[in-house]
Structure 1
């Protein structure tokens, strides 16, 4: 490593004095206050009117389906949690206490991630009908308030549990906290990825199936109660966009803090264990303010009101972070206890550098909000241009959306890259300081996470509200228009939060990339005191510090990028297969029960919900194994350098792919809304049919594969950090150790191959010769 790099081996010797322990306790208290506020907001949402009897009946069916799915999903995921808990106990650790703490807090991180997802879903399925009722009786502003405070509840639980969990670890383990937190972050990320993939498959299979048979073939409205897939579609919004995204943002929160504390303990000593906690604690306070001040003014769009609340929160965060930096941090690097005496001369005041890094993250969140809104908003030219292409058919509509996604990915990822590089430059000649400042930029971005979660949950709640209103038939035209507006706003806010989640993932993965380097270098330094010869250690260090053009590193780079493509393909293919099953089921019901179209018979909603549940749970294992085992195959099989290349390839390709998928899908969805509002021929026109087809392509893009890439790259980075000491230990061992290393790689590869073979058994184009499309029968 560079001469100015500070090793993490000193971290375990750090101890926290009384003042620092008091500050961390204060962070834990803020976490508890956030949880209490979440309970208060939840009660406010529940206190709103629940609508007519028919609306409550539909909402009850959605709630029942969502709860049933999550219960079955959690039963499935318990197996993975128990297995990983045991495996973590076999990985090297500084002490038995750290080993057991890492495994124990892995379980806690998984439980917290699952709890956040469940809380988000359980309130959303109650809030949707209340938003519909507000639009029906009291107007748009109340609907905006209920939907946003539903998200605010989830936001408060996200920051509350995140702060509380991390603060407890630091209070209990002090200097060993970073190693224990690796388990906490891994648990949160692993569960979030499974919930993201499973929920994404469920929601988009139902959505695609409902649109293809209902809108395209039968020519009935999107949420027509005659369509057996409508309830499953609305259930999917909650288990995918609410439960899945809430868990995703929580793990972003947890993993970012993990990376910041690992690097902070090396760069800033004890200050580095405390300052990264103060920043998100400030964010929790400003989120509380942002949630309560977000109200739509007269003649103001709901999106403008939400954006204003976000910007005000960001400004308050910047001001309070300035105070925290200058009141808490020392004025020189010498006071931090760093080993490099030239750092002060090179990069100046650590308070200024730390603050600039935090502000870079806050600014990045604001820029991404504007950039995503520009590319996916219904009132912005890019989406309007995509909508115009519907007049020339589905092909041009799809091509224009792909073009928009590819172009926007370049600009957004370039922006993220600029922020990462600027943050790194703040560290001067010290690699560790530069990486820590990148992590602090991520913490700065996370000061807005409470409002971000509120923005995200706003989308599916509004979407469900519109569906309930249409299915019940109990709302007038004015209320229906209000709900259509809120649904369009929700599409944009969901796209914005996906963009910010991607930025968080890249920042966290970059910081974890540095943590991975420190993990193996600190292991080498520990082994230097043992029986391995110095020549062998020197040869190992020379091998892994070779240039990027080394074939093994380039092979790792290619494999990392390839995993992102394979993961995305598996997720989209799972939606394709599940959606095909739903299409056939809905067609069968239309064929065998003619009274459904006449309105005299009720569709079998439960059968479609069951298909979605079954298919999503059976197809989430392979993507999960791909994320967890590919770093094992590359690391133990090809070595430390190849694994570093693997992580770099996954981060770079994952960032571009995630933005491309999210923005293409968001633009297609909102372009469809533009057509349905009456432009380019309106509903029932050829342009509308083209828009529906394009939107069904975009559904698995933006709500299944795209968002799942965020936890994917963090899971792979965390796995790399966790296994790095074992790779080094076995690589420097005797011939028996080499056999163990190769055996681990081969077993992991065999498990992956078997999982992929099983996953590809399903026929993408399921056929049923007894049925014919509804449109042809008509």
Structure 2
């Protein structure tokens, strides 16, 4: 394979115009976000008690995220300088790569921060809207359907703001890189993607540890031991639980999907130039730009008519409207922008493609359609396994009649089974896109990347669906803690929370699909980077060190290592939640024991102490998974070579897809089974069945909100690190500058960091009382 460097590439005037239009669309998305912000903030904030509780949640979320970003900022500065040391064609590439690493990190942080900041201001407004169904004395009551419509509209448009920031900043960053660094765009985009992925991983891991430590602690002591409601103000962990929903789900998922967006565009643009020539630098930007437009349509389509009795049907309508319109517009763009023959492609760097039979417009359209259809199928499949009205969740609820052990077993079984079907769908999508390339491996890889961009067209609505969940959850918490929303209004919030649980599970499934498609496309970019580096340094290494054939024992070992890292990463994340939750349980028990007036409401719990425990533990615990993700690929690459590192990535992608779906779906099913019992089935609240489902939900919390979602950025961080270090591994391992001592030193240092980080994590004790 010939190298795919863009050293001689320039943007044609037509492509430059297109990229400028794409950048304008990205800016328009930010304008739409601002308009949605005004709509959300124009809503009322309810009673003084509701505003007081909301202010406490806002204060805790802002304080945590500020401390987290300061901590991660130090790490980002270190990586900035390390990137300057990695090989590149020129210093301009090195500087641009490091600079846009910071831009990617900043955009990822901003996306997460905006999601959190608006969510903690919208939750009280959703609760206030629901209160209109059961107003206070002298206040007029409104029809229940109108109240439900208004509350859902506020919650979903809050998510719409985050969705617009995700697609707007992701598209703006990629378009800017292409405009400014046309010749060096691929190398610079690697830095942009890594910055987005690293920050997203830290926000996902840290936020997930915070939210689930508080949630588990609140449930175990409040619900199980004291027999009080989930968001009872007497529970010292309730404020921390609500804070965690925002820093974990809102900030974490927004950053996660933003980096999926950025990383997929990175891979598509790198492969696009090689496969489609000049138009390959523009078409992968056109597709997500269309997604920006259709996301706006989808978000406004989730304004349900008064007769719409199901919140989930309104959400589904918005998603499918967005998907269908996206597919239609992509078809128009493909047939207008792309030539009808491969022979008419200009600037192609991969030999043989211009002799390829077929129509590039059809390849592009079908590849994008595969991504859009994949999103729709996963949406339905995940909904089947996690919605309360479907059989899997009802089976878990029924199993609660025989105790917590059967609840846990039923949830694990459903998670394992659903992982197979979801992984098969993702695998078929990758294989289907691959087949489009025929005999050309580069066309096949580009088709996989285009399938990823097709899935990106739905990201705006997906982020809105995800943020909707924690906003609805927090609204119910504020209502319960204040005691100012009762009767029909409380039922509106309960129904919205159940819809939110399902939308969160669905978006996790789609986020996993985006992660796998992005990782698969990056895997192709990694393969191409090896070929480019070998050609540049004139490496004369034996085939056994460069081949990724897994029949070779060294590569099989790399494959096993990649699969093992996913298990280790997941175990570290769950164990971190366990330790931090133990500290929360100890603190909440202490407060109930030492302050008996809390139960009869003559004393007020010390909410701040639990928030502080969760903050400190989350910031301390996120270091180990982060270091593992960055340094493990370095250790494998410099020890075993680029072939084994490629097998390592393959093992991580395959295992990561299955593990992430298993963790997400089992956790989501346990959560909604608990809601099912709390709604009156199988004995209702306070019954033994309820206690059993609470245990199941407690097990599922770190599964679905910490370990599972964190696998997504893990896969992309490891792929990007491998892509960045591949030239150095080839140069210092097989080129004229080969240095066994340098390779051994780098590998040894990376392995030492991994070992120290894991041992440090294991030395921390689990707090018990």
TM-score by length of 1: 0.96
| TM-aligned CA deviation for residue 343 of structure 1 | 5.0
In the TM superposition, what are the counterparts of 1:118-517 in structure 2 within 5 Å?
118-137=113-132, 139-297=147-305, 298-337=307-346, 338=348, 347-517=357-527
How far apart, in 1, do the equivalents of 2:544 and 2:220 lie?
58
Measured in 1, the distance between the counterparts of 2:351 and 2:581 equals: 62
Query: Are residues 641 and 67 of structure 1, via their aligned partners in 2, closer, same or farther at CA, if it must alter by over 3 Å?
Result: same
Residues 334 and 341 of structure 1 are in contact (CA less than 8 Å); yes or no, is this contact kept in structure 2? Answer: no
Contact 2:545/2:641 (CA < 8 Å) preserved in 1?
Answer: no
For 2:282, what is the secondary structure of its paired residue? helix
1:64 equivalent among 43, 59, 65: 59
Change in CA separation of 1:744 and 1:755 when aligned onto 2, cut-off 3 Å? same
Say if 1:347 and 1:428, in contact at 8 Å, map to a contact too: no
Q: 2:75 aligns with which of 72, 80, 96?
A: 80
Distance 2:472 2:536 in 1: 55
- Number of equivalent positions: 754
Matches within 5 A, 1:656-695: 656-695=658-697
1:83: how far off?
A: 0.3
Q: Secondary structure at the match of 1:8?
A: coil
1:295: how far off?
1.8
CA contact (8 A) 1:314 1:447 kept: yes
CA 1:340–1:510: 2 relative to 1, 3 Å: closer
The 8 Å contact of residues 394 and 673 in structure 2, kept in 1 or not, is answered as yes
Residues 352-402 of structure 1: CA distance to partner in whole angstroms, max 9, x if unpaired?
011100001000000000000000001111111111100010000000000
Residue 44 of structure 1 deviates from its aligned partner by 0.6
Residue 591 of structure 2: aligned partner? 589
Match of 1:776 in 2: none
Q: Partner residue of 2:4?
A: 8
Please say if residues 343 and 429 of structure 1, whose CA atoms lie closer than 8 Å, have aligned partners that are also in contact: no
Query: 1:7: how far off?
Result: 3.2
- Report the Cα distance in structure 2 between the residues aligned to 1:547 and 1:264, rounded to whole angstroms: 25
Is the contact between residue 275 and residue 350 of structure 2 (CA under 8 Å) also seen in structure 1?
Answer: no
Structure 1 equivalent of residue 711 of structure 2: 709
CA drift of 1:767 comes to: 3.3
> Counterpart of 2:135?
none
Instruction: Give the match for residue 768 of structure 2.
Output: 767
* 1:341 to 1:115, Cα distance in 2 relative to 1, 3 A: closer
Query: 1:347·1:426 contact (CA, 8 Å) conserved in 2?
Result: no
Q: Is the 8 A contact 2:275 2:349 kept in 1?
A: no
Q: CA deviation at 1:538?
A: 4.2
Is 1:28 matched with 2:37? no
Match of 2:98 among 82, 100, 103: 103
What are the ranges of 5 or more consecutive residues in structure 1 without an aligned counterpart? 529-536, 769-778
Native 8 Å contact 2:562 2:649 kept in 1: yes
Q: Distance in 1 between matches of 2:764 and 2:154?
A: 42
Corresponding residue SS for 1:481: helix
Contact kept, 8 Å, 1:116 with 1:154, in 2: the verdict is yes
CA distance in 1, matches of 2:344, 2:82: 40
Give, in whole Å, the separation in 1 of the partners of 2:198 and 2:422: 26
Are 2:649 and 1:647 equivalent residues in the alignment? Answer: yes
Using the alignment, how far apart are the partners of 1:678 and 1:749 within structure 2? Answer: 53
Distance in structure 1 (CA, Å) of the matches to 2:313 and 2:52: 33
Question: Deviation of residue 17 (structure 1)?
Answer: 1.2
Q: Cα distance, 1:671 vs. partner?
A: 0.5
Decide which of 4, 14, 22 is 1:19's aligned counterpart: 14
Q: 1:252 and 1:294 mapped to 2: Cα distance?
A: 24
Deviation at 1:761, TM superposition (A): 1.1
* CA distance 1:183–1:339, change in 2 (3 Å): closer
Local SS of the residue matching 1:269: helix
* CA gap 1:256/1:309 in 2 versus in 1, 3 angstroms: same
Q: 8 Å contact 1:663–1:702 — kept in the other structure?
A: yes
TM-score by length of 2: 0.97
TM-aligned CA distance change 1:510 to 1:340, over 3 Å? closer
- Matched residue SS, 2:184: helix
Write the distance in 2 (CA, Å) between the matches of 1:44 and 1:744. Answer: 53
Paired with 1:186 and 1:636, the residues of 2 have a C-alpha distance of 20
* TM superposition outliers: structure 1 runs of 4+ over 3 Å: 337-347, 537-543, 733-736
Residue 12 of structure 1: how far off its partner (Å):
2.4
> Can you list the C-alpha shifts for 1:620-660, whole angstroms capped at 9, x where unaligned?
00000000000000000110111011000000000000000
Over residues 549-584 of structure 1, what are the superposed CA-to-partner deviations in whole Å (9 max), with x where a residue is unaligned? 101101100000000000000000000000000001
Alignment match, 2:139: none
Query: Retained in 1: the 8 A contact 2:343–2:355?
Result: no
Cα distance in 1, alignment partners of residues 34 and 714 from structure 2? 31
Given the alignment, which residue of 576, 600, 611 partners 2:578? 576
Measured against aligned partners, the alpha-carbon deviations of 1:248-286 in whole angstroms (never above 9, x if no partner) come to 010000000001001111111111110000000000000
**Is 1:347–1:427's contact at 8 Å kept on the other side of the alignment?**
no
Match of 1:615 among 584, 600, 617: 617
- Kindly indicate whether residue 523 of structure 2 is the aligned counterpart of residue 522 of structure 1: no
Shift in alpha-carbon separation, 1:230–1:347, aligned structure 2, 3 A: farther
Take 1:114 and 1:752, find their aligned partners in 2: how far apart are those partners? Answer: 26
Q: Determine if contact 1:175/1:265 at 8 Å carries over to the other structure.
A: no
**1:102–1:181 CA contact under 8 A, matched in 2:** yes
2-side partners of 1:244 and 1:469: how far apart? Answer: 24
Cα deviation for residue 161 of structure 1 reads: 0.5
RMSD: 1.2
Where does the alignment leave 5 or more consecutive residues of structure 2 unmatched? 133-141
* Secondary structure, counterpart of 2:668 in structure 1: helix
- CA–CA separation in structure 1 for the residues paired with 2:349 and 2:239: 62
